[in-house]
Structure 1
Amino acid sequence: MEYHRITNIEDPYFKQMHQLMQQVFPPEEVLEFNFWKEPLEDTGIRVFVAVKNSKVVGATEYRYYEDFNVAMTDFTIIGKDGLGVGTFLAQKRLADLNTLAFANGKRLHGIFAEIYDPYKVEQYEFGGIKSMNPYVRREVLSHLGYKRLDFPYVHPSWRNDGEAVSGLDLCFLLIDQREEKLNSNLIIQFLKRYYSVLSNKPKHWKEMIKNLEKEKSIALLPI
């Protein structure tokens, strides 16, 4: 299996990846095809696909923030069960992030990730791929060491229509597992930076940020 980075919308593997995204994610979670041009050319956004026999069988997008020394996994897609795609992507991604942190003179602090709450989004089929089922994905994240940040989470729709997307938890993988809380200011600054590309922030998202500003830290709980 090949770990191939996509940096151009003309990359032949990008069309396959985008089709895969449309199969497994709800519409409000998928950026339109042409809107990917700038993100793919952004050196800070790392989009990789798992390629087997010239076919995209998985994909992941993530980014590393040097000033925060944290990463964000935007998404992970397993396009076919039984190939070990999830393990392959997780290992390659972590190795890449550790390299980026080392080049920044630091040891990676941790990785953010959003995960659906299966009790709220059971209606999503996720392309019929069992590995993408929210119950399975939460258990996988738990095994990897991710924990749920203890606050009601919403995020702005990627359609930039001012709607709030709910039914998810914001999670964090601490490289140092001894900590049980995360500084709320780190969460706030990260979320503001991450969603700065969306100009139309929903009311519920703004209220969530205000509530976080009242807290010094947020507990990390089991998923």
Structure 2
Amino acid sequence: MEFVQIKSIHDPLFAKLHTLMQEVFPPEEVLEFALWEEPLQDPTIRVFLAVHEDEIVGVTEYRYNKELQVAMTDFTIITKEGLGVGPFLAKKREEDLMNLAIEHDLDLIGMFAEIYDPYRAKDHDFGGIKVMDPFVRREVLSHLGYQRLDFSYVHPAWTNEGEAVMELDLCFLPFKEEITSLKASFVRDFITTYYSVLSNKPQAWHDMVDNLDEMDDIQLRAL
């Protein structure tokens, strides 16, 4: 299995990747094809494929923020069972992140991730891929060490149509054992930076950010 980085929308594999994302994720979770051109040229945004016998069997995208000393798992897709794609992607992603941390003098405190709450997101079958089931994905993140940030999270849809997605939790994987909570101001700064590319965010998202301004610490809870 190969770990292949995608750096351009002109890479023939990107067209396959974008089609795959449209098949797996709900529409509000998929950025338009052309809008990927700039993110893929950003060295802090890393998109990798697991390629087995010329077929895309897995995808992972993550990014890092040097100013905040934090990373974010954007998404992971696994399309084939029985090949160990999940562990392969997790291991390779961690290796890449740790190499970047050394290269750019990062003292990373942890990694964010969004995850669907399966009790609220009952209508998403993720292309019928069993390993992408929200219950399975949530348990996998839990086993990896992610914890839920205890506040009402609002996700602005990537369609940039101003839709609020209420079925996700924002989670965090601490890289330092002593971390049991995060400053609300830190979470706010990360969220506002992360979604700065979207010009049309729902009012519910702005309300969430305002609420974070009124909070002190946000506890980490078990998934």
Q: TM-score, normalised by structure 1?
A: 0.97
> Is structure 2 residue 184 aligned with structure 1 residue 198?
no
Structure 1: which amino acid aligns with 2:174? L
Q: CA deviation at 1:120?
A: 0.8
Q: How does 1:70-219 map to 2 (within 5 A)?
A: 70-219=70-219
Q: CA deviation at 1:108?
A: 2.0
Give, in whole Å, the separation in 1 of the partners of 2:106 and 2:76: 25
Higher mean C-alpha displacement, 162-171 vs 31-40? 31-40
Give 2:48's aligned residue: 48
Q: What CA deviation, in whole Å up to 9, does each residue of 1:125-166 have, x standing for no partner?
A: 111111100100010000000000000111111111111111
Determine helix, strand or coil for the equivalent of 1:207: helix
Q: What is the CA RMSD across the aligned residues, in angstroms? A: 1.0
Q: CA deviation at 1:103?
A: 2.2
Give 2:22's aligned residue: 22
**Structure 1: segments with no counterpart, 5+ residues:** none
Q: CA deviation at 1:177?
A: 2.8
**Contact 1:61 / 1:74 at 8 angstroms: preserved in 2?**
yes
Structure 1: which amino acid aligns with 2:179? E
**Structure 2: segments with no counterpart, 5+ residues:** none
Give the % identical residues: 57
Q: What CA deviation, in whole Å up to 9, does each residue of 1:23-49 have, x standing for no partner?
A: 110011011112211111222211111
Give, in whole Å, the separation in 2 of the partners of 1:63 and 1:158: 16
Q: CA deviation at 1:178?
A: 2.8
Q: What CA deviation, in whole Å up to 9, does each residue of 1:166-197 have, x standing for no partner?
A: 10000000011332111111111100100000
**Contact 2:184 / 2:216 at 8 angstroms: preserved in 1?**
yes
Determine helix, strand or coil for the equivalent of 1:148: strand
Give, in whole Å, the separation in 2 of the partners of 1:184 and 1:136: 29
| Total equivalences in the alignment | 223
**Contact 2:109 / 2:175 at 8 angstroms: preserved in 1?**
yes
Give, in whole Å, the separation in 2 of the partners of 1:117 and 1:69: 27
Give, in whole Å, the separation in 2 of the partners of 1:83 and 1:22: 23
Give, in whole Å, the separation in 2 of the partners of 1:91 and 1:30: 25
